[in-house]
């Protein structure tokens, strides 16, 4: 159970960090 919680937590952190970067990259790329 603890392992699943750890995996979910790391995925959540990854989404929180990677998603804004991805969105800004996409918007910058399309605006050029």
- Percentage of the chain beyond pLDDT 90 is 72
Neighbours of 27 (CB within 10 A): 9
Averaged pLDDT, 7-25: 92
pLDDT of amino acid 6: 92
C-alpha neighbours within 13 Å on the C-beta side of residue 6: 3
- Pinpoint the alpha helices (H) of the chain: 2-31
CA 10 – CA 27 distance, rounded (Å): 26
Average pLDDT over residues 1-28: 91
The dihedral over CA atoms of 17, 23, 29, 32, expressed in degrees to the nearest 10, equals -120
Look at residue 21 and tell me whether its pLDDT is greater than 90.
Answer: yes
Question: pLDDT at position 18, please?
Answer: 92
């Amino acid at each position: 159970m603890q392992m699943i919680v750890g995996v979910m937590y790391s995925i959540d952190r990854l989404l929180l960090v990677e998603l804004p970067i991805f969105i800004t990259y996409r918007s910058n790329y399309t605006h050029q």
